[in-house]
Structure formats: C-alpha cells, structure tokens
C-alpha cells in the first residue's frame, strides 16, 4: 500500500503537443524533459504520464483520450500521486469549465498542481491559488475564442472570394508567396490531361477498375507515387474543383478563382453516372459478358447469368440461366445476336444522336434558371462583402445568409438537371460505325450502353420466356419479350 508521504513526492504529468512563441511544435518529449528537470529540483518522482496529441481548445472536435483518462482516474481515486505536473496551463485545457472541474477533483483528492513554466506549485484548496489557475483558464479560453474567430473569418472570406482551400488537387499546381501562402492555382501540363481523360472515360462507360488497371500499366501514379485505386478515382471524379467550383461544409458552391479542367456538361453527366443508386460499386470479379444480369427471366423477373454445362460428356454451349429459380435457360450466342443486333440497329438510326441530345424544350427554362442563379450568387457575394467590410453586423449576415445559400444550392441543382445531356451522349460519335465501335469497346462500356438502352423507356426491358414445348427448342427470337412503357 502506498503511504501518504510517498504520494506527496510522486508526480504524474499530462503531456500534450503545443507550440512555443516561434510557432514550432513543442513535442511531448520536450515538455517531459523540462518537467523532469523541474521535478528533480523539487524532489518529485515521476510516475506514468498521460499523453495526448491534439487541441485543448473548447472548439476542438477530436477526443482527448489522455485527458479523459486523467479525469476518470481522479474521479475513481486511481491517480496514485500527490502532484499533477503540467508544462503550461493551457496544455491541460482552454475551457474554463474543464479547468474548474479538474481543480475541484484535485482538491477532493488532495492533489497539488505544478506548472513548469510558472515554476509554482498550486494548492487547489488555497483560494488564492485557485483564483490564479481560474484566471489563467479564462485567459486561455479567451485566446482560443479569438483564434477560432479569426480563422473562421478568414475561411468565410476565402469562400466568398471562391479562393482555394486544402491540398492542391491532382491536375493542378500552385504558386506560393515568400510566407508559404498560396497565391494562384492553375492546370498542371503533365497531370491535367489525366483528369480530363478520367472524366471522358467514365462518360464513355469505362469502369473505374479498368481505368485503374490501365493507368497502373501506363505508370500514371499519384503525387506520392501510389497507384490510383478505383475508390481514389471515384473520389477524384466527384470533386467540384475540376469544374472550377469551391464547396464549403456542404452548404453549396461558389465560383472558384481557378480555371476548370472539365466542361460542365461532362462533369455533371459523370456525377449522374457515379451517384446513380442503381450503379453497382463493388463486385466479386470483373464482368465478362455484355448482357449478363441485365436481361431478365419473364417468370420471376430475376436477372440471368451466363453458365456453362456438360452434355453427354461434352461442353455444352454457354447459356443464360435464371439465377433465382432456374425457370429459363437460353443459348447465349443466339440471344446476344438478337439483342445486341437490336442495340446496334437503334444506335445506327439517322438522327439518333440529335434525338438523344435534345433538350426536350428546356432551353428557355435553362436560361431563366441561369439568370436566377447569377442573381442569387451576386446577392450572396454582396452579403459576404458587407460582412467582411463590417457594413453589416455578424448577426445580420448570419440571419440573411442561410436562405440565400439554400436558394443558390437549389438553383445549381436545377441548372444541373436542365443542362446535363443524355448520359448516352459521349459514348460514341455520330461519325463512327456502330458495329465496329461495339466490337472494339470494352465490356464495361458495352454493359453501360446495354443497361441504358434496354430499359422500358427506350428499347424495352428484355425478358426471356420458357420454351413453349418441354424438351423441344423454341426459337430464341420467339422467347424474347421486349417490355416497353405504354
């Protein structure tokens, strides 16, 4: 059992990363070295320290596990020492309420608080010492508020200007001033073409997995030399920065101060493709067949998958088979000939590209929406300028900004709906021979085209019916049903 005398000479530290006046990070090891020197001079024997890496500000969001453990040990009387050592008072907390709680816990457990930079041992049971520590806590809290307000004001000003924030996106370069602050962002001649290629290939139906594999084979890697995974490519393709917009805390977007790499119609078409709820983002393996899981069983509506079987000891021709109940089985080659032939014939029709790309009479609507959007953005910019110049109070800006920001976001979404061309546009050009294009296209592209066209609103959903006469082959063409919207 530890004696009271032993407790009085045992001390435990709370160490947390801080910055000295030069702005250099002072590590927990450096704090510990100074604490150890001070403890030796006063006859303290150091026990196990509590450690954290993160802000002690009341505005911080990251959990401080070391601090929480310290409080729990004091509450449960497991602290096991008579002195708590801090390198500097703000290292513990910049929240006066947290300091008040800790002072009361230390007073209850008879624990004194030694602050190395003060060179003073505080007694929480002494009113004067308690007041000094609370004053330090209040000063730290006020300083934290000033820093948070200054940072937020700077971020808000950057948002209003459309200024860039965070790491430089792949495909761009930045120039910095002598203080290390970014001055401008512009396309990187070496990597920007890769970004343009990514959007173009997604629009043409290439899978992210296929693009990732191709880029790896071509030696296209990230800035840190790692391979672009399908997930990384998806995150890239969702960044509004590539269309010259800046987002902020999911509250909408503003026009950025840098040039776009991707045309808006291409960008929003890709967003529609990647965010489509019907899009399957993970699979056990790469699809090998253009129509598998797209055509369906007319009995149970389930998808058909390609299977093979042996008949009389020989390999039977590949066939589509109902996965859910085995209701139908149909020759794959003959089915592909019928269905893919219909797809190619549809895409070969004169004027089909103009039909697919038409705006459905939305030209006037689009112009009206763009006019409203320009006006709403101008009003929002003027509000931010008034706040920055202090011609409007913070309270007034906070009251007026939400409805304006909401209006801008809604108009942006409406503009996207009206200006986005059909997702089929861009898969191939009107000048190409469709049959030759289909032969050379990747399987992922063929599947994208088939999934889009074999729908009730276009060519129709392809259903396969059972053979009419058991044990007798019914012609494939007679077993295919094209279900269209009435």
pLDDT confidence of residue 254: 67
Under the banding of pLDDT at 50, 70 and 90, the label for residue 61 is: very low
**What is the predicted pLDDT for the residue at 160?**
52
With bands split at pLDDT 50, 70 and 90, how would you rate the model's confidence at 197? Answer: very high
What pLDDT score does 204 carry? 80
User: Which is more confident, 105 or 59?
Assistant: 105
pLDDT (0 to 100) of residue 171: 92
Distance, CA of 394 to CA of 141 (rounded, Å): 21
- pLDDT surpassing 50 at residue 3: no
Q: What is the pLDDT of residue 64?
A: 75
Q: Looking at residues 200-220, what average pLDDT do you find?
A: 88
Nearest to 124 by CA among 91, 87, 95, 86: 86
The string of pLDDT tens digits covering residues 138-153 is 777 777 666 656 655 5
In this predicted structure, what is the pLDDT of residue 206? 84
For every residue of 121-184, which 3-state class applies, written as one string? EECCCCHHHHHHHHHHHHHHHHHHHHHHHHHHHHHHHHHHHCCCCCCCCCCEEEEECCCCCEEE
What local confidence, expressed as pLDDT, does residue 193 receive? Answer: 94
Q: How far apart are CA 381 and CA 372, in angstroms?
A: 14
Is the pLDDT at 154 greater than 70, yes or no? no
CA distance 209 to 442: 12
User: Two tokens at 236?
Assistant: 């890239």
pLDDT at 308 over 90: no
Q: Rounded to an integer, what distance in angstroms lies between the CA atom of residue 18 and that of residue 26?
A: 5
Strand 83-86 with 10-16, pairing: parallel
Q: What percent of the chain has a predicted confidence (pLDDT) above 90?
A: 10
Q: Quick: pLDDT tens for 346-404.
A: 888 887 776 666 544 456 677 777 778 878 888 887 887 777 777 877 777 788 888 88
Range of weakest confidence among 14-18, 62-66, 275-279, 297-301:
275-279
Q: What percent of the chain has pLDDT over 70?
A: 76
Q: How far apart are CA 169 and CA 239, in angstroms?
A: 9
- 152: tokens are 């937020």
* Residue 223: band (very low, low, confident or very high) from pLDDT cuts 50, 70, 90: confident
**Per-residue pLDDT averaged across 333-341, rounded?**
90
> Which DSSP category does 96 fall into?
H
Q: Average of pLDDT values for 173-187?
A: 80
CA distance 260 to 257: 9
Q: Which pTM value belongs to this model? A: 0.49
What are the tens digits of pLDDT across the range 441-456?
A: 888 788 888 888 888 8
Given a contact cutoff of 8 angstroms between Cβ atoms, the answer to whether 67 and 93 are in contact is: yes
**CA gap 334, 418 in Å, rounded:** 40
The stretch 288-294 carries a mean pLDDT of: 87
For position 199, what pLDDT does the model report?
93
Rank 121-125, 165-169, 201-205, 311-315 by mean pLDDT and report only the highest.
121-125
pLDDT score at 19: 42
For the chain, give the mean pLDDT.
Answer: 78
Q: What does the pLDDT read at residue 252?
A: 59
Describe the chain by its helix, strand, coil percentages, rounded to 5. Answer: 45, 15, 40
Q: What is the mean pLDDT of residues 22-44?
A: 76
């Amino acid at each position: 059992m530890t004696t009271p005398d032993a407790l009085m000479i045992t001390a435990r530290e709370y160490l947390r990363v801080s910055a000295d006046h030069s702005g250099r990070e002072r590590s927990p090891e450096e704090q510990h070295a100074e604490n150890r020197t001070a403890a030796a001079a006063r006859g303290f024997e150091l026990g196990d320290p509590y450690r954290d890496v993160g802000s002690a500000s009341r505005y911080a969001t990251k959990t401080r596990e070391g601090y929480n453990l310290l409080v729990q040990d004091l509450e449960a009387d497991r602290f096991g020492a008579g002195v708590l050592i801090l390198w500097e008072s703000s290292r513990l907390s910049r929240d006066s309420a947290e300091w008040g709680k800790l002072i009361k816990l230390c007073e209850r457990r008879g624990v004194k608080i030694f602050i190395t930079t003060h060179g003073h041992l505080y007694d929480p049971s002494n009113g004067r010492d308690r007041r000094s520590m609370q004053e330090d806590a209040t000063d730290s809290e006020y300083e934290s508020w000033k820093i948070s307000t200054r940072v937020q004001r700077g971020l808000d000003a950057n948002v209003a200007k459309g200024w860039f924030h965070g790491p430089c996106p792949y495909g761009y370069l930045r120039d910095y001033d002598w203080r290390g602050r970014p001055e401008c962002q512009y396309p990187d001649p070496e990597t920007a073409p890769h970004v343009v290629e990514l959007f173009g290939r997604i629009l043409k139906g290439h899978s992210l997995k296929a693009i990732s594999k191709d880029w790896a084979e071509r030696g296209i890697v990230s800035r840190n030399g790692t391979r672009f995974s399908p997930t990384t490519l998806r995150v890239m393709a969702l960044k509004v920065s590539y269309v010259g917009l800046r987002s902020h805390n999911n509250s909408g977007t503003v026009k950025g101060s840098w040039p776009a790499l991707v045309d808006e119609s291409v960008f929003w078409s890709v967003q529609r493709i990647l965010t489509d709820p019907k899009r399957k983002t993970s699979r056990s393996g790469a699809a090998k067949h253009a129509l598998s899981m797209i055509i369906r069983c007319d009995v149970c509506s389930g998808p058909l998958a390609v299977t093979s079987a042996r008949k009389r000891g020989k390999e039977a021709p590949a066939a589509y088979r109902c996965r859910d109940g085995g209701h139908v089985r149909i020759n794959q080659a003959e089915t592909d000939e019928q269905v893919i032939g219909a797809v190619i014939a549809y895409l070969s029709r004169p004027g089909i590209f103009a039909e697919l790309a038409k705006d459905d009479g939305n030209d006037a609507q689009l112009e009206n929406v763009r006019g409203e959007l320009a006006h709403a953005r101008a009003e929002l910019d003027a509000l931010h300028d008034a706040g920055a110049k202090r011609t409007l109070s913070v309270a007034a800006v906070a009251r007026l900004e939400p409805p304006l920001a909401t209006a801008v976001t809604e108009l942006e979404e409406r503009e996207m709906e009206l200006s986005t061309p059909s997702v089929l546009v861009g898969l191939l050009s009107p000048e190409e021979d469709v049959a030759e294009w289909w032969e050379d296209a990747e399987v992922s592209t063929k599947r994208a085209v088939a999934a889009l066209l074999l729908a009730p609103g276009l060519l129709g959903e392809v259903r396969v019916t059972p053979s009419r006469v058991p044990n007798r082959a019914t012609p494939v063409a007679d077993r295919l049903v094209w279900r269209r919207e009435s």
